[in-house]
Amino acid sequence: MFALTSPDDDNSPSLDLVRVAVVTLVTTPTTHEVIAELRRGAMHVEVHTADVLQQAPELPVYVVSVDPAIARALSDKFVAWTQTSELHPGLIGLIDQGTTPDCEGLLAVGFDDAVATPISPRELAGRVRAVHRRVHRKGLANGRLRFGDLTLDLHGRALWVDGKIVGLTSIELAVLRELMKARGRPLSRTELLDAAWGEGELEVSERAVDNVILRLRRKLPRPDVIETVRSVGFRLTTTR
């Protein structure tokens, strides 16, 4: 284990410190700029290679620097790896010279966020903070939300439905949390973006919401519990 220390004072632990790992499957000038920017932002930054997959996740957020070919080959492994720990860390894909379809591919398999270079290191730092907040976000009362047959454990990041436990990524939990809080009221894609991503200045498309909804439906024993409301967005339903 490592000590929670700031970059400027190794003897000053902070429970609020943003802790992130940059996994360098591909190292580019942007990668070095990103690491420097995160450290300037008073984050605890570790740098790893693909060997990180050989041990359980220990940090709340992992930025995985890849090229499009590696992203397609290893994205599933990284998503599965996050489920091996109760922490369930957030994943951000940093795709070297990637395209919009490359980013959508990572979002579709379970990454919390995905961006292509070139990107402003400051913008990526903002995205890291947004994912870090979702991982550490505290729930209401005892940390559980209930709606119909759904029970959501906000601390354990798990969903109980029909006697089964469904593991969730941080962004899946954030979207489902907002739908459950709405108590069956339809939420637009824009509302879900604002509530779940929480960073109005970041450029996240509404397609990201559709990708998360698709993943949630694949995980749920009854996919139709999430209903599409034409020209509006999505809502939860208690009907079978």
Domain at 107, CATH number:
3.40.50.2300
Tally of domains within the chain: 2
Q: Is residue 5 part of a domain?
A: no
Q: Do the Cβ atoms of 20 and 63 come closer than 8 Å?
A: yes
The rounded Cα 91 to chain-centroid distance in angstroms is: 5
Of the residues 117, 136, 155, which one is the last residue of a structural domain? 136
Omega within 30 of 0 (cis) for the link into 186:
no
**CB under 8 Å to 5, separation ≥6 — which residues?**
11, 12, 13, 14, 17, 44
User: In this structure, are 42 and 132 located in the same domain?
Assistant: yes
Burial of residue 151 (CB within 10 Å: 0-12, 13-18, 19+) is: middle
Q: Is residue 6 part of a domain?
A: no
Question: What is the reported pLDDT for 61?
Answer: 92
Q: Would you say the pTM of this structure is higher than 0.75?
A: no
User: In this structure, are 114 and 23 located in the same domain?
Assistant: yes
Burial of residue 236 (CB within 10 Å: 0-12, 13-18, 19+) is: buried
Q: Is residue 8 part of a domain?
A: no
- Distance, in Å, from the CA atom of 79 to the CA atom of 156, rounded to the nearest integer, reads 17
CA atoms within 13 A on the CB side of 124: 32
* Structural domain boundaries, residue 61: 19-136
CATH code, domain carrying 169:
1.10.10.10
Q: What is the pLDDT along the chain (240 residues), one digit of tens a residue?
A: 333 333 333 333 333 578 899 999 988 888 888 899 888 887 899 999 999 999 988 888 999 999 999 888 889 899 889 877 767 788 999 999 899 889 888 888 888 889 998 888 888 988 898 888 777 664 444 567 888 888 887 766 678 887 678 888 878 888 998 898 888 899 998 888 887 776 554 566 778 888 889 999 998 888 889 999 988 899 998 755
User: In this structure, are 180 and 95 located in the same domain?
Assistant: no
- Distance, in Å, from the CA atom of 192 to the CA atom of 234, rounded to the nearest integer, reads 9
Of the residues 91, 106, 136, which one is the last residue of a structural domain? 136
Q: Rounded to whole angstroms, what are the CA distances from 88 to 28, 69, 161, 237?
A: 27, 25, 19, 27
208: number of Cβ within 10 Å? 23
Question: What is the reported pLDDT for 47?
Answer: 94
User: In this structure, are 148 and 85 located in the same domain?
Assistant: no
User: In this structure, are 151 and 218 located in the same domain?
Assistant: yes
User: In this structure, are 71 and 117 located in the same domain?
Assistant: yes
Q: Is residue 217 part of a domain?
A: yes
Q: Is residue 216 part of a domain?
A: yes
- Distance, in Å, from the CA atom of 88 to the CA atom of 60, rounded to the nearest integer, reads 8
Q: Do the Cβ atoms of 7 and 44 come closer than 8 Å?
A: yes
Of the residues 72, 102, 136, which one is the last residue of a structural domain? 136
Q: Do the Cβ atoms of 18 and 6 come closer than 8 Å?
A: no
Q: Is residue 35 part of a domain?
A: yes
Q: Is residue 181 part of a domain?
A: yes
239: number of Cβ within 10 Å? 8
Q: Is residue 100 part of a domain?
A: yes
What is the side-by-side strand order in the sheet with 226-229? 187-188, 233-236, 226-229
